[in-house]
């Protein structure tokens, strides 16, 4: 659990619009909007370098200073330039420390699966899980232990242990998270062996058994 949060220094934007946003970007700022349930949205700007460091910090909740008080926010939406992939706009959502929130966090597979040791191939089909918790309890990641996972076995959301009674899983419990399958090369080899065994058990067209051939030759000799 995060005990401290990355601090975002935000500035209030009194002038809004496409022209003003473009001017802000030239100054190294990212325009944005701060939302909070039941209150009017506030236009803000954040220094681009600070925002990028916050986004790369691995945290999901950020601390801001608003009207002299510390508040907590989460990234609601980030807009990127279609060509350069640079961040051009960001939406923040304020959250209350006393109210649970819904957020997605990464799933990290922990351990070495038995099936992998036996030659199986591990695949992860779900990389994030949706949870409900207080802003102060948001984990950087959710671990899923895979040590006992065998070949042709799978683990789902229901197998995840959040490690806290205050963290509830919201994602569908039946969603598959990870599985181990037999290598394709081995499956092909097994199929070829089965085909060979089937063909060995049948006489090839035009061939006769040695016994029938011998019987035929004996009859001709007697005649």
pLDDT in tens, the chain (223 residues): 445 678 888 988 887 888 888 888 999 999 999 998 778 899 999 999 999 998 888 787 898 987 778 888 988 889 999 999 999 999 999 988 888 888 889 999 999 999 999 999 999 999 999 999 988 888 889 999 999 999 999 999 999 999 899 999 999 999 999 999 998 765 555 555 566 655 555 555 555 445 444 554 444 444 4
pLDDT of residue 191: 59
Q: How far apart are the first and last CA of the chain?
A: 98
d(CA 155, CA 141): 17
SS3 labels along 136-198: HHCCCCEEEECCCCCCCCEEEHHHCCCCCCCCEECCCCCCEEEEEECCHHHHHHHHHHHHHHH
Q: Which domains does the chain have, with CATH numbers?
A: 6-95 (2.40.240.10), 102-184 (2.170.120.20)
d(CA 32, CA 21): 9
pTM of the complete model: 0.62
d(CA 79, CA 50): 16
Token digits for 42? Answer: 């506030």
d(CA 150, CA 144): 15
Residue of 144, 138, 167 lying closest to 156 (CA atoms): 144
DSSP letters along the chain, please? --SS-EEE-EEE-S--SHHHHHHHHHTTEEEEEEE-TTS--EEEEEEHHHHHHHHTSS-SEEEEEETTEEEEEEEEEEEE-TTT--EEEEEEEEE-TTS-EEEEEEEEEES--HHHHTT-EEEES--EEEEEE-GGG--S-EEEE-TTPPTT-EEEGGG---S-TT-EE-S-TT-EEEEEE--HHHHHHHHHHHHHHHHHTSPPTT---HHHHHHHHHHHHH-
d(CA 85, CA 11): 23
Phi-psi region of 174 (alpha: psi -120 to 50; beta: other; left: phi over 0): alpha
């Amino acid at each position: 659990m995060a005990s401290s949060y990355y601090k975002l220094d935000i500035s209030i934007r009194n002038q809004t619009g496409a022209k003003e946003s473009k001017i802000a970007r030239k100054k190294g700022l990212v325009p944005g909007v701060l939302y909070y349930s039941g209150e009017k949205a506030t236009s803000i700007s954040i220094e681009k370098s600070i925002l990028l460091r916050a986004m790369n910090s691995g945290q999901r909740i950020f601390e801001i200073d608003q009207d002299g008080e510390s508040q907590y926010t989460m990234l609601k939406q980030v807009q990127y330039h279609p060509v350069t992939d640079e961040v051009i706009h960001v939406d923040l959502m304020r959250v209350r420390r006393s109210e649970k929130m819904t957020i997605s966090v990464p799933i990290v597979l922990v351990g070495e699966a038995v099936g992998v040791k036996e030659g199986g191939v591990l695949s992860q089909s779900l990389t994030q899980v949706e949870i409900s918790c207080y802003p102060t309890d948001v984990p950087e990641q959710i671990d899923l232990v895979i040590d006992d996972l065998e070949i042709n076995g799978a683990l789902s959301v229901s197998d995840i242990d959040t490690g806290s009674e205050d963290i509830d899983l919201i994602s569908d419990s039946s969603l598959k998270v990870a599985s181990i399958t037999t290598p394709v090369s081995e499956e092909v080899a097994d199929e070829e062996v089965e085909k060979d065994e089937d063909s060995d058990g049948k006489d090839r067209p035009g061939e006769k058994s040695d016994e029938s051939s011998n019987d035929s030759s004996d009859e001709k000799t007697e005649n």
